[in-house]
Structure 1
Amino acid sequence: MQQAATYIDSYYHRTLRAPAARPTLVEDTDCDICIIGGGMAGLATALGLAERGRDVVLLEAKRVGWGASGRNGGFVGGGYSLGIGDIEARVGREDADALARLTLDALELIKQRIERYGIDAGPMRPGIMKASWFANADSLRAHADKMNERFGIGLTFQSRERMRELYLTERYYEGLLDPTAFQFHSLNFTNGIADACAGNGARIFENAAVTHMDLTGDRKRIDTAHASISANQVVICCSGYIGHLHPKLSRATLPVGTYVVLTEPLGDRLEQAIKAPYGTSDSRLAGDYYRALPDTRLLWGGRVSSNLSPRNLKQKMIGDILRIYPQLEGVRAAVAWPGTMGYAVHKMPQIGQLSEGVWYNQGYGGHGMCATTAGGEVVAKAIAEGDESYKLFAPFGLDFAGGPLGPAIAQCAYWGFQLQDLWQAWKSK
């Protein structure tokens, strides 16, 4: 039997509250619904189905939350990678509002599940700030007014003076604070959802990579290295880790690398740079995101690359911090790690039905801790209740993502975003 996978070294692994491993699949098994992929999309789908009384088996190639779901910034907020304005331009206001409300409902569902299942996802802190890299106060106020009128989420405009009080940097202009969003421990949350799945009767198998699928008959067959699953329905939730498992989904998936660093404790030096208690991201197309932990460490993420395992990652990420907060010169990295996101070319989740009994739920593109819960509920309700909300995602289909050239295209696009950011910053000055 192959050696069991372990989590990569990260802040989340170092502070993990989860079993050493869950069992792997060693005997052929029947079920109603088989879910492939144990990230948040797969787990949210499994929990939504299990809570509705369905018989579910989930297969994870490595460990629950091993990929992007357990390596990210820990930001939980409504919306998708694609902005609401671009969504509305594609599908119209009514469907854009419906799509947005799915994530706002999911935000509340996450809070309810944390309480209902006693998930220790702390430290949890309210509020996510979008710090503007450019001078566009009127546009920010208009966006806040529009979002508050349509969804009542309470976005608050932050003046330049207030931002300088919260963030001791010359880089930021104004900001928008979302008080409904929050920060948490993403890997502990993901494992807590897995425990909730098991508590509702779902069977979860780790270190159970799928080697072959026969999805043609009424009963689907899913093979792993040591045993097989026979199921009425299958939900594929692999995203950036799909490899060559399903040609159509694989061709529509762009795996993109991103990175996070955890600093050593800053102590009193933290307030020389950051006084805000919020999770923070900036408004650049190629921006950073970060949050201060209660022990004064900074958890800082950013960058996009086709290189999934870059060299000198600690130094590069510390350099990103110092470009915004040069007064933290000398800060040291405790640990840095890469992650792989699954992007669609349209920057929206890919949710739908490939054929009778074969579903997919993937492609959350760096904005997934809340949206995956929305997608899981959409698919669970479609299967268990015949709900058709999943059709809202039909305009965002399985567009070709570039095949072998996809990562290179993504890298060029990222460089293009950086140039646009430089141009906008120059105009702001």
Structure 2
Amino acid sequence: MTHAYIDSYYSRTLADTTRRPSLEGEVEADVCVIGGGMAGLATALGLAERGVTNVVVLEGRQVGFGASGRNGGFVSAGYSRGPAALVKSVGLENAKALYGLTQEAMGVIRRRIGQYDMPCGPLVDGKLNISWFDRPKELKANIAFMNENFGTRMEFWPRARIRDLYLSKRYYDAIYNPDGFHFHSLNFTRGTAAASEGLGVRIFEDSPATRLDLDGDTKRVQTARGTVKARQVVIATSGYLHWLLPRLRFSILPIGTYVMLTEPLGDRLKTAMRGNHAVSDSRFAPDYYRALPDSRILWGGRISMATNPANLDRLMLGDMLKVYPQLAGTKVEVAWPGTMGYTTHKMPLIGELKPGVWVNTCFGGHGMCSTTAGGETVAKAIAQGDESWKLFRPFGLSFAGGPVGPLAAQTVYWYWQLRDLMKR
């Protein structure tokens, strides 16, 4: 069966429509990557750039079909687990090393976009985290902590400046990250696939893995019509693993999240937004959005156990109007769901499960940079014997609730919303 992308802003603005063949028969590879999203493709390209070109990528649908091609398109260093929490978990030096992997990945991403001429622009620099709460001292303390300990260049933007750019009574001060940016995430993912193929990587679409034999020196990955024999296997399926590998699946929490695209607003846009930064807010359950060059707004937010709720366009529009009531009457062109993979510790799963079996997955909530960091980490381990992956050992497999995990996550989200209300 040939699968098409879900209807979204990204699928409507593809730079190319190349389709890859499905796997037929038996092939051999040094490395088989399961999952053609950003994590899997970053791993494949990282391997190929280091001379390991006999790589096969198996994608169940199309490259970037999942969260990699449906998100907000925000790129910045870090993980879903914040730096302060990292320090508490592993100490300052290891936290700096872990965060540093994502800082290096920011440079890798920019280099690859230019080197491989990826059509994922325009790249718009600057990411704002705007506070819903009147706590400037707290923001300044966070900025000082980041700049002093992690070498960042965060800036404090006072509410007068924020409310001149983003005309919402909900907003106070903000943290500005000049190193973050936003771009077309699906075109970037597809560009990474094309760059990998240019170096010899083979990618098969519509080829979900159906059975794994991961014992012995030669691993076997079966699909409906073919088999890959490989010395190493990398699993990068995130929330789409299903129960192919139960031990790993029990550690993954598939969570639904949502994005909408408004109609072009023309001059009305300036009644709400005069900036084009990537914007999120400081709530436990934040919105995130950006204005597009054609005056449309890409607006995302919410997490839920429901992967495709009814009236999604109405729900997302309601969230936007809570922030910008002056945009009442705006029409939604399209709204779409996505499934992200989370862990209970809010860190990705990166490392070696057993000899020759690697994971690079679960980047929910902060993935466009950290997937590249994970890909580089696993690629360096396989190609060069680098041991940076051991930094992730404190964040290994942890039970995520199994079948009732999504319900637990929904309960946590409701709790976050209550905390946001109480915090005001």
- TM range, smaller chain: over 0.9
Aligned to 1:310: 309
SS of the equivalent of 2:79 reads coil
Q: How far does residue 23 in structure 1 lie from its aligned partner after superposition?
A: 1.2
Q: How does 1:208-227 map to 2 (within 5 A)?
A: 208-227=207-226
SS of the equivalent of 1:314 reads helix
Distance, in Å, in 1 between the alignment partners of 2:25 and 2:261 is 41
Q: How far does residue 151 in structure 1 lie from its aligned partner after superposition?
A: 3.2
Q: How far does residue 139 in structure 1 lie from its aligned partner after superposition?
A: 1.3
Q: How far does residue 160 in structure 1 lie from its aligned partner after superposition?
A: 1.4
Aligned to 2:5: 7
Q: How does 1:28-427 map to 2 (within 5 A)?
A: 28-54=26-52, 55-425=54-424
Q: How far does residue 276 in structure 1 lie from its aligned partner after superposition?
A: 1.6
Percent identity between matched residues is 56
Distance, in Å, in 1 between the alignment partners of 2:355 and 2:238 is 21
Q: How far does residue 18 in structure 1 lie from its aligned partner after superposition?
A: 2.5
Distance, in Å, in 2 between the alignment partners of 1:203 and 1:107 is 26
Q: How far does residue 153 in structure 1 lie from its aligned partner after superposition?
A: 2.6
Distance, in Å, in 2 between the alignment partners of 1:134 and 1:22 is 48
What are the superposed Cα offsets for residues 161-216 of structure 1, whole Å, 9 maximum, x if unpaired?
11111111110111011010000000000000000100111111100010101001
Q: How far does residue 150 in structure 1 lie from its aligned partner after superposition?
A: 2.7
Distance, in Å, in 2 between the alignment partners of 1:191 and 1:164 is 37
SS of the equivalent of 1:28 reads strand
Distance, in Å, in 2 between the alignment partners of 1:267 and 1:147 is 38
SS of the equivalent of 1:395 reads helix
What are the superposed Cα offsets for residues 19-60 of structure 1, whole Å, 9 maximum, x if unpaired?
341111112100110000001000000000011111210000
Q: How far does residue 144 in structure 1 lie from its aligned partner after superposition?
A: 1.1
Any unmatched runs of 5+ in structure 1? Answer: none
2:129 maps to amino acid: K
SS of the equivalent of 1:276 reads coil
SS of the equivalent of 1:284 reads coil
SS of the equivalent of 1:190 reads helix
1:39 maps to amino acid: G
2:164 maps to amino acid: E
Q: How far does residue 152 in structure 1 lie from its aligned partner after superposition?
A: 3.1
Distance, in Å, in 1 between the alignment partners of 2:364 and 2:182 is 18
RMSD in angstroms over aligned alpha carbons?
0.7
Any unmatched runs of 5+ in structure 2? Answer: none
Distance, in Å, in 2 between the alignment partners of 1:322 and 1:371 is 31
**Structure 1 segments of 4 or more deviating over 4 A?**
none
The partner residue of 1:27 within 25, 43, 47 is 25
SS of the equivalent of 1:179 reads strand
Q: How far does residue 8 in structure 1 lie from its aligned partner after superposition?
A: 0.4
1:404 maps to amino acid: P
Q: How far does residue 352 in structure 1 lie from its aligned partner after superposition?
A: 1.1
What are the superposed Cα offsets for residues 338-381 of structure 1, whole Å, 9 maximum, x if unpaired?
00000000000111111110011101112000000000000000
SS of the equivalent of 2:395 reads coil
Q: How far does residue 17 in structure 1 lie from its aligned partner after superposition?
A: 1.4
Distance, in Å, in 2 between the alignment partners of 1:379 and 1:253 is 19
Q: How far does residue 123 in structure 1 lie from its aligned partner after superposition?
A: 2.2
2:103 maps to amino acid: L
Normalised by the length of structure 2, the TM-score is 0.99
Distance, in Å, in 2 between the alignment partners of 1:315 and 1:408 is 23
Distance, in Å, in 2 between the alignment partners of 1:46 and 1:91 is 29
Q: How far does residue 277 in structure 1 lie from its aligned partner after superposition?
A: 1.9
Distance, in Å, in 2 between the alignment partners of 1:123 and 1:72 is 16
What are the superposed Cα offsets for residues 265-305 of structure 1, whole Å, 9 maximum, x if unpaired?
01101110111221100011101000000000000000000
